[in-house]
């Protein structure tokens, strides 16, 4: 059985349409109304040679069945019944078929991961109850959605789980998933088989299959369409014979499960059976590639990969303030900054007294995933926060960290196994950090053994030999490097090391840090944890990549420095003679920041805000009203002013002072509406007038707005709706706020609104544009 070919079935939708299913009707309903037809089609597949039947339940989720008058349980049970009936006494397994939910998940869409999980859970429970033999999650293009489905399958049944995804010829799925990211994520989640279905024809899928094979040794599945459809008619064009012929090369790649998707029929399966009878699939070659990934992109560990350390409150007042104020945007901007500076992976640490760490971990992980496609490293000592982070993360993460203590290993390693994460093991235990490299090596071995015993693959265990401060313990730098060399060469594991610590307490720290980093890289460090914004650090890494041969032909190195003129003097920017007004008006952020610093030498923070920044913004606003400038300029100006404000905020935070705010405003794009660009513009402008904005996002239910208004005791609420269809929910939200009895003022805006209409639905103010919203805020809040 191990290496035998397993024949799956062919298309169901195509066959049902031929049997008279009207377009537009959910095909799953025929499980209840036309069960003989459904079972009849499946019986023909069994006769043709299919040994696994997929139930006719592709879209049997609560969202798609909403208007059908039937429950998920009913329709799924009907689907399993039909397949069982068709299988009869034949040795055929019945697979519960689960397709995409039909709504895009966050961050692209508004369906949350947790909601998706719940929808899949219902399907899984129904399928397991009805007696399915396995679960097939198919035609997926988003790994986040796949993760929700796989977790739902594994947490609510004991059935084997197969996953097939759909890709484009570009080698990516619709939402940008790459094949390595798919392989790493699914391998990590412990699916029993993976592959491709739908998408394209067999010939077009072959290169993708080859790539998949390089990244996983799991059994592979191939269930392609009958070629590409004729655009005019939607019909598929290749014959059953050429389909089978095109499928043959897949066997050499070790594909074991074969079937067809759109446009195929029992005849296709018969031809496949004939082809399969004469061929044997190859066994997977050993030595697959490995690494970590986000929901879209993989980072392979075949060279030096930089882990950015800046998302961490330790010693950073401004970051701590952001955590306490739940200012997630500030935090994720640190992620973008590090990505731009060359980080390959982002460490995420949000632990701080007074912060609900699991909850904050989920918000930050999700927010980061909406703006960057770097893999994440969940950094916490709190197992609940680690699990919350691992659940919310899309792709394959790293857990930072475990150590040699048995109770830590027993608490964290099962989580890494379940969610498919790599893990960092620190070379320390209940007795502290061994002073001798041999002691650290022994702990590394212990961690490795424990990880293996929990079923983690060897390549997912990364060891941190720990950096100590040379100004306190000078001999320790050598011990760390020796331990590192041992772990790399003798244990053959990947190594990780935070390096900046080494120079603590010394003058001109960067010299020591960079020298140590260079030596560590030379000793075999794969994953330096550093501040990528430090140019000297990243320069050293770029240089080491040249010396190790990783940077072929020194291309990346040359590109890095080609753009930079030799001998530049960044600190001494010439005096431009520009005024703060000019800088803001022209949207020059760096210049605004420089001039703000200069102004702060002569005035205190508040007067810089009230006498310089705000009046400058006011003048920009006037120009906008007179149509001397247009919207992008207004926003650029606000963004530039932001640089000045941010500087002042950081300065006050360092001093431990109260944050400056002219008052709180709650903003939301109303329920049903996903166009939030207008609201985002308003937000930028209001923030830069010094107001604190609580941004609830888009598609926000009325009760969430009411809760926020009461919780924040906001004096002003701004609601936005872009479509006529969603102005209705704007009216409902206003009514809900009024019913709550909170006396806040409400301003509304949005493309389809007018002043009249705003008054009619009970708003206090109509803001025709972002500038007016600032005027209203001034009127209400001062």
Task: Please report, as ranges, the residues that interact with another protein according to CB under 8 A.
Answer: 22-24, 100, 102-104, 107-110, 139, 141, 166, 170, 173-176, 198, 231-234, 329, 332-333, 336, 370-372, 586-588, 627-633, 635-636, 638-639, 672-675, 677, 680-681, 684, 722-726, 750-752, 754, 768-769
Please, what is the minimum distance in Å from the beta carbon of residue 520 to another protein?
A: 32
Beta partners for residue 717, in sequence order: 666, 746
* Nearest CA among 70, 192, 87 for reference residue 131: 87
Find the farthest-apart pair of alpha carbons in the chain and give their distance in angstroms, rounded: 90
Considering the complex, state which of residue 139 and residue 495 has its C-beta at the smaller distance from another protein. 139
Distance CA 782, CA 779 (A): 6
Distance CA 541, CA 457 (A): 28
Distance CA 277, CA 258 (A): 12
Please, what is the minimum distance in Å from the beta carbon of residue 133 to another protein?
A: 26
Distance CA 731, CA 739 (A): 12
Peptide bond into 107 cis (omega under 30): yes
Please, what is the minimum distance in Å from the beta carbon of residue 769 to another protein?
A: 8
Query: For residues 264 and 227, is the Cβ–Cβ distance under 8 A?
Result: no
Considering the complex, state which of residue 187 and residue 673 has its C-beta at the smaller distance from another protein. 673
Please, what is the minimum distance in Å from the beta carbon of residue 758 to another protein?
A: 12
Please, what is the minimum distance in Å from the beta carbon of residue 314 to another protein?
A: 23
Please, what is the minimum distance in Å from the beta carbon of residue 622 to another protein?
A: 15
Please, what is the minimum distance in Å from the beta carbon of residue 109 to another protein?
A: 5
Considering the complex, state which of residue 34 and residue 333 has its C-beta at the smaller distance from another protein. 333
Considering the complex, state which of residue 406 and residue 677 has its C-beta at the smaller distance from another protein. 677
Considering the complex, state which of residue 331 and residue 529 has its C-beta at the smaller distance from another protein. 331
Please, what is the minimum distance in Å from the beta carbon of residue 330 to another protein?
A: 9
SS3 assignment, position 602: coil
* Nearest CA among 225, 224, 220, 78 for reference residue 162: 220
**3-state helix/strand/coil string of 315-343:** CCHHHHHHHHCCCHHHHHHHHHHHHHCCC
Considering the complex, state which of residue 453 and residue 754 has its C-beta at the smaller distance from another protein. 754
Encoding tokens for residue 402? 């475990």
Please, what is the minimum distance in Å from the beta carbon of residue 699 to another protein?
A: 8
Peptide bond into 352 cis (omega under 30): no
Distance CA 766, CA 764 (A): 7
Please, what is the minimum distance in Å from the beta carbon of residue 745 to another protein?
A: 23
Considering the complex, state which of residue 107 and residue 383 has its C-beta at the smaller distance from another protein. 107
Distance CA 468, CA 465 (A): 10
Considering the complex, state which of residue 42 and residue 173 has its C-beta at the smaller distance from another protein. 173
Encoding tokens for residue 198? 């739908």
Query: For residues 52 and 93, is the Cβ–Cβ distance under 8 A?
Result: yes
The number of C-alpha atoms within 13 Å of 507 and in the hemisphere containing its C-beta is 0
Distance CA 182, CA 203 (A): 20
Considering the complex, state which of residue 319 and residue 462 has its C-beta at the smaller distance from another protein. 319
Considering the complex, state which of residue 382 and residue 725 has its C-beta at the smaller distance from another protein. 725
Encoding tokens for residue 596? 């703000």
Please, what is the minimum distance in Å from the beta carbon of residue 538 to another protein?
A: 20
Q: First vs last Cα of the chain: how many Å apart?
A: 76
Phi, psi of 10, rounded to the nearest 5 degrees: -110, -155
Considering the complex, state which of residue 7 and residue 583 has its C-beta at the smaller distance from another protein. 583
Encoding tokens for residue 246? 């095109």
Query: For residues 603 and 595, is the Cβ–Cβ distance under 8 A?
Result: no
């Amino acid at each position: 059985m191990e290496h035998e070919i397993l024949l799956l079935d062919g298309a169901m939708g195509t066959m049902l349409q031929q049997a008279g299913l009207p377009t537009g009707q959910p095909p799953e309903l025929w499980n209840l109304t036309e069960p003989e037809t459904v079972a009849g089609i499946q019986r023909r597949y069994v006769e043709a040679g299919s040994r696994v039947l997929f139930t006719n339940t592709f879209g049997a989720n609560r969202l798609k069945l909403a208007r059908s008058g039937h429950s998920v349980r009913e329709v799924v049970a009907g689907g399993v019944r039909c397949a069982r009936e068709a299988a009869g006494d034949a040795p055929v397994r019945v697979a519960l078929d689960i397709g995409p939910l039909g709504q895009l998940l966050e961050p692209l869409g508004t369906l949350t991961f947790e909601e998706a999980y719940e929808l899949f859970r219902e399907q899984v429970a129904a399928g397991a109850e009805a007696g399915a033999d396995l679960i097939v999650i198919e035609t997926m293009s988003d790994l986040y959605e796949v993760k929700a489905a796989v977790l739902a399958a594994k947490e609510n049944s004991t059935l084997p789980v197969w996953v097939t995804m759909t890709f484009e010829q570009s080698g990516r799925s619709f939402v940008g998933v790459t094949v390595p990211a798919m392989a790493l994520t699914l391998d990590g989640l412990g699916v029993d088989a993976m592959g491709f279905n739908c998408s394209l024809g067999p010939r077009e899928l072959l290169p993708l299959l080859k790539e998949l094979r390089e990244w996983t040794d799991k059994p592979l599945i191939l269930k392609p369409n009958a070629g590409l459809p004729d655009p005019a008619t939607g019909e598929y064009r290749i014959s059953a014979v050429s389909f089978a012929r095109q499928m043959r090369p897949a066997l050499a790649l070790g594909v074991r499960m074969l079937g067809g998707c759109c446009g195929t029929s029992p005849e296709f399966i018969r031809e496949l059976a004939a082809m399969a009878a004469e061929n044997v699939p190859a066994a997977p070659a050993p030595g697959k590639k490995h690494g970590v990934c986000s929901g879209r992109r993989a980072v392979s560990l075949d060279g030096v990969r930089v882990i950015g350390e800046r998302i961490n409150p330790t010693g950073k007042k401004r970051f701590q303030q952001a955590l306490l104020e739940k200012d997630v945007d500030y935090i994720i901007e640190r992620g973008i900054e590090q990505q731009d500076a060359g980080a390959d992976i982002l460490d995420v640490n949000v632990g701080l007294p007074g912060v609900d760490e699991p909850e904050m971990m989920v918000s930050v992980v999700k927010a980061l995933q909406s703006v960057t496609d770097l893999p994440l490293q969940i950094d916490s000592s709190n197992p609940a926060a680690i699990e919350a982070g691992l659940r919310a993360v899309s792709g394959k993460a790293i857990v930072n960290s475990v150590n040699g203590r048995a109770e830590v290993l027993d608490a964290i390693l099962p989580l890494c196994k379940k969610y498919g994460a790599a893990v960092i093991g620190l070379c320390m235990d209940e007795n502290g950090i061994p002073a001798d490299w041999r002691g650290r090596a022994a702990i590394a071995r212990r961690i490795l053994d424990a990880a293996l015993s929990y079923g983690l693959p060897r390549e997912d265990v990364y060891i941190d030999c720990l950096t100590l401060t040379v100004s306190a313990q000078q001999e320790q730098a050598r011990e760390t490097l020796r331990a590192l060399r041992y772990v790399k060469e003798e244990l053959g594991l990947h190594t990780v090391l935070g390096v900046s610590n080494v120079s603590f307490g010394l003058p001109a720290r960067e010299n020591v840090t960079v020298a140590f980093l260079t030596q560590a890289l030379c000793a075999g460090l794969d994953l330096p944890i550093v501040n990528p914004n430090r140019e000297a650090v990243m320069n050293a890494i770029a240089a080491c990549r040249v010396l190790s041969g990783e940077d072929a032909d020194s291309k990346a190195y040359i590109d890095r420095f080609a753009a930079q003129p030799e001998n530049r003097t960044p600190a001494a920017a010439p005096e431009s003679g520009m005024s703060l007004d000019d800088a803001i008006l022209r949207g020059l952020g760096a210049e605004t920041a420089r001039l703000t610093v200069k102004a702060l030498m002569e005035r205190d923070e508040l007067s810089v805000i009230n006498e310089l920044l705000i009046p400058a913004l006011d003048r920009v606003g006037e120009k906008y009203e007179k149509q001397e400038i247009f919207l992008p300029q207004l926003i650029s100006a606000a963004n530039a002013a932001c640089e000045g404000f941010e500087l002042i905020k950081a300065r006050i935070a360092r001093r431990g002072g109260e944050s400056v705010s002219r008052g709180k405003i709650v903003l939301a794009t109303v329920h049903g509406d996903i166009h939030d660009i207008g609201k985002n513009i308003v937000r930028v402008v209001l923030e830069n007038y010094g107001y604190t904005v609580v941004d609830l996002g888009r598609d926000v239910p009325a009760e969430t707005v009411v809760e926020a208004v009461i919780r924040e005791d906001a004096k002003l609420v701004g609601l936005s709706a872009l479509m006529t269809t969603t102005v209705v929910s704007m009216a409902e939200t206003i009514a809900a706020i009024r019913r709550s009895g909170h006396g806040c003022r409400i301003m509304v805006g949005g493309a389809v609104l007018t002043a009249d209409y705003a008054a009619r639905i009970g708003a206090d103010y109509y803001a025709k544009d972002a500038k007016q919203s600032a005027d209203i805020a001034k009127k209400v809040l001062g």
